[in-house]
Each structure stands twice: as structure tokens, then as C-alpha cells.
């Protein structure tokens, strides 16, 4: 299947480059645009997004005719009660679940009709995920957990090590690179997870309740690390959170309730 793409909107102050590193502008699909030498964030456009799950009693509508726009390099918080559809929205935007109904484009890539290998290719090229439950491998050190993302993407060992060291320094954990997850606090583990999510230079960073298991101080440090990562790496950031105080930090706030957008 060929991906259906539309031209990415230009990022202010940037020049687009194709995968081969040429100097042409006006890239399409998920070809990397650049912001001061970095990959630029993607614009998100969603219209009429509806998503259902099968249950023994019939279809359960978890997203109901949702519209959403997030500009390239934007920062949006998604809030709402449990069961509002927040995590499902992130799963569709990030290519973890195929689009069922509606229209959704991410960085010019039309998600309609993408399945299997096509969705996997989209995720690898575009998206970094941060989840509530860290997802770190206990036998590996912090640095090795970050390097693993690069290994799965086929990066060379030297490049992986340099990238991991750079990212761990960026989240304030350079002195913890050789520590294993059980030797780290919850906030430190989540910051390692952020570094891992950035390993392959994603254009879209999706964080699903990244502070849900953390105390107030650790939660703030994690949100600050996400915000700093967006600024430094030029990616688009979408965060799901129950914490209204943390959500209020985002320039754009989207509220869902029973699958519908209410603000």
C-alpha cells in the first residue's frame, strides 16, 4: 500500500529536507523538515473522528465525531474523566490503532486506510511515546534502555551511545546513566522514558498520563522535561492528563467527555 500524503505546512524559519538530506523545500508526507538543523514538528488535523470497540452487549463508542487541530511544533493537553476517550485519541494519532471513521492527517500523512506494516512505518518515522507505566527493561541501565530504541531502528552502536548520553544529559540524568530502573525514583524513570522516546528524533511526542504514578514534585519535573524537550527538539507535543494544573501549562487545552469534545 502506498501512503497517501499531503504537503507538510512549512515551519517558520526552517528549510525542508528530504530523507537524503537534500536542500529542497516543501517536503511531503513524513519527510523531515528542519528547525535549526532539527526535525520539525508535525501539524495534526482531525475531522469527525469516531472510534468503537466491540463488547458483548454491542458497540461501545469511545470517540464520537471529534475534531482537533494542533499546529506544527504545538503543545496541547487533553483532559477529561476516565473513559472519556483520551488514550484512544492518542492511540489513533500515534498509529497504535487504525483509524475507523473520520479523517486524520499527521504531518501530511493521511491515516485513513493504514494498517499493519504501514502503521508501523509511520510510528517509526514520526512518533515517540511516553506512557504512565514507564516501560523500562529492568536488566538494562538507563543508557541501555535509551540505546535500545536506536538499536531497533538500526542505528550504529556508536551513534546510539552518543545519542543516549546527549538525551540523558538533557533530562538531567547524566550521572544516572549506569543505574538500572530499580535504582531510580519514579520521576527519574519517567525522565529516562522521555529520553528513550526522543532517541529516534520523533516529530510528534505523545505522552499518556506521564505523571499519573508520581508525586507532585516529580510530576512537575516530568512535565518540565517534556516541555523542554519540545523546545529543544522542535517536535509537536500532546499530553493526556487528569491534572488540571499541569494541563493549564499548555497553550492549547482539549477536553473530552464520553467520547465527545466539550472544549
Give 235's contacts (C-beta < 8 A, 6+ positions apart).
39, 41, 73, 128, 198, 202, 203, 204, 205, 229
Delimit the domains of the chain by residue range: 34-255
pLDDT in tens, 110-127: 999 899 999 999 999 999
Average of pLDDT values for 20-35? 34
Average pLDDT, the chain: 87
Alpha carbons 206 and 63: distance in angstroms, whole number: 18
Output the pLDDT for position 4: 39
d(CA 235, CA 21): 19
Torsion of CA 128, 10, 256, 135, to 10 degrees: 0
pLDDT one-digit tens code per residue, 214-232: 999 999 999 999 999 999 9
Instruction: Say whether pLDDT at 7 is over 50.
Output: no
Supply 98's cell numbers: 487504525
> What fold does the segment set 34-255 form as a domain?
Rossmann fold (3.40.50)
The vertex-244 CA angle with 11 and 170, nearest 5°, equals 50
Predicted confidence (pLDDT) per residue in 126-158, tens digit: 999 999 999 999 999 999 999 999 999 999 999
What's the rounded Cα separation, in Å, for the pair 72 and 149?
24
Tell me phi and psi for residue 68, to 5 degrees.
Answer: -160, 135
CB burial readout 186-203, b (16+ within 10 A) else e: bbbbbbbbbbbbbbbebb
pLDDT at 62 over 80: yes
Q: What was the pLDDT predicted at 39?
A: 67
Amino acid at each position: 500500500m502506498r501512503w497517501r500524503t499531503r504537503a507538510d505546512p512549512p515551519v517558520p524559519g526552517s528549510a525542508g529536507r528530504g530523507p537524503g538530506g537534500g536542500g529542497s523545500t516543501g517536503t511531503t508526507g513524513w519527510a523531515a523538515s528542519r528547525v535549526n538543523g532539527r526535525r520539525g514538528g508535525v501539524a495534526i488535523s482531525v475531522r469527525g473522528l469516531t472510534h468503537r470497540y466491540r463488547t458483548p452487549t454491542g458497540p461501545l463508542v469511545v470517540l464520537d465525531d471529534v475534531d482537533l487541530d494542533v499546529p506544527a511544533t504545538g503543545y496541547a493537553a487533553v483532559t477529561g474523566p476516565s473513559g472519556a476517550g483520551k488514550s484512544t485519541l492518542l492511540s489513533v494519532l500515534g498509529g497504535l490503532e487504525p483509524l475507523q471513521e473520520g479523517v486524520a492527517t499527521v504531518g501530511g500523512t493521511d491515516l485513513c486506510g493504514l494498517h499493519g506494516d504501514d502503521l508501523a512505518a509511520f510510528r517509526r518515522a514520526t512518533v515517540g511515546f511516553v506512557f504512565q507505566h514507564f516501560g523500562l527493561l529492568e536488566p538494562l541501565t538507563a543508557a541501555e534502555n535509551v540505546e535500545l530504541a536506536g538499536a531497533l531502528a538500526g542505528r550504529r552502536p556508536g551513534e546510539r551511545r552518543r545519542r543516549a548520553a546527549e538525551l540523558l544529559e538533557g533530562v538531567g540524568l547524566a550521572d544516572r546513566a549506569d543505574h538500572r530502573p530499580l535504582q531510580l525514583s519514579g520521576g527519574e524513570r519517567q525522565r529516562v522514558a522521555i529520553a528513550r522516546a526522543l532517541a529516534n528524533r520523533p516529530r510528534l511526542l505523545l505522552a499518556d498520563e506521564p505523571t499519573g504514578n508520581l508525586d507532585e514534585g516529580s510530576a512537575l519535573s516530568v512535565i518540565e522535561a517534556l516541555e523542554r524537550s519540545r523546545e529543544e527538539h522542535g517536535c509537536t507535543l500532546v499530553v493526556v492528563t487528569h491534572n488540571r494544573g499541569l494541563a493549564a501549562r499548555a497553550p492549547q487545552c482539549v477536553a473530552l467527555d464520553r467520547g465527545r469534545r466539550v472544549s
